[in-house]
A and B are shown apart, each in its own frame.
Chain A
Amino acid sequence: MNLENINKVYYMKKNLQVLKDISVSFKKGKFYAIMGASGSGKTTLINILGLLISYTSGTYTIDGINVSNMSNNDKDVFRGKNIGFIFQSFYLNERLTALENVLIATFINKELNRKERKQVARNILIKLGLKDRLNHYPSQLSGGEQQRVAIARALVNDPMIILADEPTGNLDEKNEKEIFNILKEISTSDKIVIVVSHNPIIKRYCDVLYTMNKGILKEVKHDF
C-alpha cells in the first residue's frame, strides 16, 4: 500500500483539513502502529486506507492499482476480499451468535462451499480461544471475547490487510495484551497490520510506529 501526498479536507463552513500531505508505504509482514491525540485524523486515515471514504487529493495505490480508478463496486469487492476491519466498538450483530457473526463474512468467498465456510469460521474462532463460545450471542460474551469474535470475522477471509481502530479501547489490560499478541502473530504471516491506538504498550508489539499530529504523519524511531 502506497500513499503519496494524500490530503483530506472536510468542506464545511470553515474548511477543515484533516490530513496533510501524507506519504507512506505499508509492507507485508509488518505490524504498524499509529498513535496520536484525539481529533488528529487517525480514524480518517484508516477509513481512507480501508476504501470506506474518499480522499481529496494525492495518489493511493494498492499492489500497483490506483484506487481512484476503482468503481464503488470494485471497492466493495476489494474490501470484502482483502481488508479486515477491527473497530473499537465491535460491530457484532446482536441477533447472531459468535459463529454466525463470523460465518456471515465468509459468504463473499466464492471458493468455499457451505460446509467449508462453517468449518473455516469454526476453526478461526477456536484458534482465538472461543471454542466454548461458538453459539453465544454477543450479549453473553465479555468485552475481550466480543473483540476476539470481531477479529475472527476480520480474519476469516484471510485478508491481506488488517485495519484496526482502537481495538483495545474497551478492554482491560490483560485483554489488551492478548489482542496485541494476536495482531502481532497475524502480521508475521505476511500480512499488513495497521493499528490505531492510544495505548502506549503497543510500542512493545509494533514493528513501525507512527504518530499523527494535526493531520501530519511522522515515523518515530523506537527501541523495543
Chain B
Amino acid sequence: MSEIIKLSSPSDFESLREKIIKGRDPNRTAVAVCSGPGCLAYASGKVFKRFEEALSAAGLEGEVTLAQTGCHGFCERGPSVVILPDEICYLRVSPEDVNEIVETTLKNGAVVERLLYKGEDGLPIQKESDIPFYKYQQKVVFGDNKRIDPRSIEDYIARGGYTALVKAITTMTPEAVIAEVKDSGLRGRGGGGFPAGAKWEATAKPPADTRYVIVNADEGDPGAYMDRGILEGNPHSVIEGLMIGGYAIGANEGYIYVRQEYPLAIDNVLYALDVLRELGLLGENILGTGFSFDIIVHKGAGAFVSGESSALMSAIEGRVGEPRPKYIRTSISGLRGKPSCLNNVETWANVPLIINKGANWFKSIGTEGSKGTKIFSLVGNVKNTGLVEVPMGMTLRQIIFDIGGGIRDDKEFKAVQTGGPSGGVIPEEMLDLHVDYDELYSAGSMMGSGGMIVMDKDTCMVNVAKYFLEFLSDESCGKCVPCRDGIDQLLEVLRRMTAGTARPDDLDLIEDISVMMKECALCGLGQSAPNPVLSSIKYFKDEYVAHINDKSCPGGVCKALIAYTIDVEKCIGCGKCMKVCPVNAISGDKKKPHKVNNALCVKCDSCYQECPSKVQAVTKIRQADVITAFATSEEAANE
C-alpha cells in the first residue's frame, strides 16, 4: 500500500474499492510467476529474479506488473509462468528462458512456442484455460491465484475482495448469514464433510460471553497441499471467510492454526493481517459497524493428529496437541471451554463466494448431497499431477484421465486412493463413481481433505496399506490401546504378508482388530486408521490371498516374494539391463537373449524399468519358482 488511510465507514471502503478499480487497466500486461511449493522446488525463485532484472533492463518495469503468486495448479510442469491478460501459459520455465520471454512476448507480442504445452496432437496450446489439465476444471476458489499477488490487498479487492464481508456486516443479520450458508449446502472440506451452516448454528446457540472461530490449516495428509496453495496464494479469501463466520456466530476472535512447515503461508497471512489492521478492516468497530474482530495465527508443530479438532484446540491453549477424551462437542465447549467453530481452510474460502453470489449460485454446482467444488491434490502414477478444482459430481475417471491425462508411461490403471491415510482405495470398476461425500463413503473411502493418489498396475495393494499404516503408526499419539497397539499389530500382520510369512488366519485377525478400532479408538485417527486396509481387502482380496497362500505378490513389489527373469522369446539383446544392473547379475551377448543370475540379483528393479517398454522382456516371477526359472532361462539362453 502506498499510503494507508484508515477506513471508518462502509462508504470509505467503497471509495477505496472504486479508486483501486479505476486505477487499473484490465489490459495491462502482468507476469505471474508461480512460487508455490512445486515450482519453488524447480527454482521459480530464480525465474522471478531474472524477470525483475530483465524487465528493468528492457525498461518495462513501469508497463508490466510482475508478481510472485501462489500455486497455479499444474505443478508437474513447473515453474509455471502465466502472462496476463492473454493467459499465455509457459511451463517448465527455466531462468535461462526469461530473456527470451521478455524479448519475444512482452516486447514483441509473440509467443515462445517451445515453452507452451503440447497437446495430444503435438500442437502447442497457448491459452492456459485451453490446456486439457485446466479445461475440465472449474476454478471457483482456486482460480484467482494467478491474478493475485498474495501481498497485495489491492489485487484482492480489485477481484471483489471484502465486498462479501461488507455486505454481511452492513446488510445482513448474523442469523441471515448462517441461513445463507446453511441453504448453500456447504459441507466441511477438511475431513468429515459436516454441514458448515449447521455447525455455525450450533456454535452460535449456547449462551456464552465468548466464542471462537478457527481455521484448520494443519494439513497433515502426506502429499496434500490444497490448503497450503490457498493460504499462500490467496490468504485474504480465508481471512474474509473467517471474519464473516465470526460475525455470524458472534465471535470476536479468530484463530488460524497453521503448521509451521508452511512458513510462506504463515508470512503471507501475517502480512495480510497487518495490512487489514492498518486499514481498519480488522480490530475494533470495523468500518464503524460495531463489529469487532481480530485474528491470531498459531503455528502448530505439524503433527497429523493435531488436525483433529480437540487436539488442535488443546494445542492453541498451549497444551500437548492430543485429542481430548471427553464426549462434548467443541461447538458447545471448545477452545478454553467456549463454543468454538473449527473449519478447514477451503471451507472458509468458500464463504465469501456464497455471501456474494448467493446460496442458489452455490447450489447450482455439484450433486444433490455435495454442493460446490472441491480441490484435489492429484498425485501418484498419473501424467499430470497438481492441484485441481472440479465441480462435485465429476467422475473419478474424468479427473484421472481427462484432467490427469491418464496413467504415466501408459501403464494400466489399478486403483485410486482418496481421502488420505483415513480414506480408502477405489478400483477400476468404480472409476465412474462421482466425487461426492456420500458416494465415496459408501464405496468404503471418503472425500477427506482432497488427497487423490493414482496407482498403476505395478502397485501392490498390501504394500500400499502398509505404507499408510506406517504413516499412521508414526502419527498416532499413543494414548489409547485400540489405536496405539492396534496399528502396531496390524502392521505386524502386513509385514508378515509382504515377507511371505503370513499365517492362514491373518485376514481374520485384521478384521478383528479393524472393526474394534473403528468403534473403540478414542479419536478419528484411530477410528479411521484401518480404512486403507479394509478397503483394499474389500476390492483386492485376491492380492491378500496371494500373499498369504501363494507367497506371491501380484503387483510385483514385495521383494521377498518376487524374482526377476528375462523372457528369452522377447529379449532383443540390447544390453540395457546389463548396463544398469548394480551387481552384474545380468549376462548375455549382444543381440542374444540375456539372463539374470538370481543368486546375485538384489531386486533393485532397474532392469525391469530399463528394458524398452516395447519389449518388456524383464519379467517378475515368484521367488518360490526361482530355481526352475533360472534353469529355464539359462537353458534357453544357452540354446
Answer yes or no: are A and B bound together in one complex.
no
Binding site for B on A (CB under 8 A): none
